[in-house]
Amino acid sequence: MDSPATLTSAFILGLFTTLHCVGMCGGIIGALSLGLPTSIRDNKINLLFFVATYNAGRIISYGLAGLIAGAIGASAMASTGFEQGHHILQYIGLGMMIAVGLYLSGWLPQLARVERIGMPVWKRLEPIGRKFLPVSNPLKAVAYGLIWGWLPCGMVYFVLIWALSTSNAIQGALLMLAFGLGTVPTLLAAGFMASQLMQFARNPKIRSVAGILIIIMAVATLFIPMEHQHNHGTQDGTTNQNSDHSQHMNHTDHSHHH
């Protein structure tokens, strides 16, 4: 796996999928911002700090989830001992990116059912999160963000399957952290203008464009490694030919000496 390219893809995916996140979480951010003491809300720097702190907690939870998913993937790979397993998992990861694009565009709304998977966990965590409200200090903000990170979200689950496909705990965590960081700019802005952003995010044309771009990115990611492998194979072939030619020349020179 080409980590820099993969992490960049995850970040861009996070950036695009915030259209879905704002529709789902914009209200939460707006409510959290309004729930802050007036002294914090009236100071834009303080407000930005608290909104950033919520998001820091959320991203830490994403990283932890990615770590667990990557470890499960690694364990599954080790137990099966299937040589081609890594390639299959990579295709699954790309399949998840395409699924995100289709879901965001509104062409595959059935994928919303995926969100039900996390409901049992959320039912246990949500009452804990409520204990941190109203958020009055940075520690409470981080704690609430940590809980918020486990809110059932189809987009997060698709990226988690991608993290699982890395079959590596650290790579899984980094992938989820990159995705989380990609969601930050929009959700930071949502802390200041939630209603305007939610209106923009629910525009079907905007969502379709973002979905198509994600699908194009997934297809491009599929072909780049193939091109790399082809070039690598060509180089190996050339090296082998040169080696064979060199051996043949040495053998000829040796015969002449005799």
Give pLDDT tens digits for 99-154: 888 888 888 887 778 888 889 999 999 999 999 988 889 999 999 999 999 998 88
pLDDT range class, residue 1, cuts 50, 70, 90: very low
pLDDT range class, residue 171, cuts 50, 70, 90: very high
User: What are the two backbone dihedrals, phi and then psi, of residue 108, each rounded to the nearest 5 degrees?
Assistant: -140, 65
| Mean pLDDT for the chain overall | 80
pLDDT range class, residue 228, cuts 50, 70, 90: very low
Distances (CA, A) of 177 to 40, 64, 146, 184: 28, 9, 13, 11
Q: Tell me the C-alpha distance between 74 and 164, whole Å.
A: 8
pLDDT at 194: 62
pLDDT surpasses 50 at 46: yes
Sign of the alpha-carbon torsion through 224, 225, 228, 233: negative
Give pLDDT tens digits for 185-200: 888 887 777 666 777 7
Spans of all domains in the chain? 3-230
**Distance, CA of 14 to chain centre:** 6
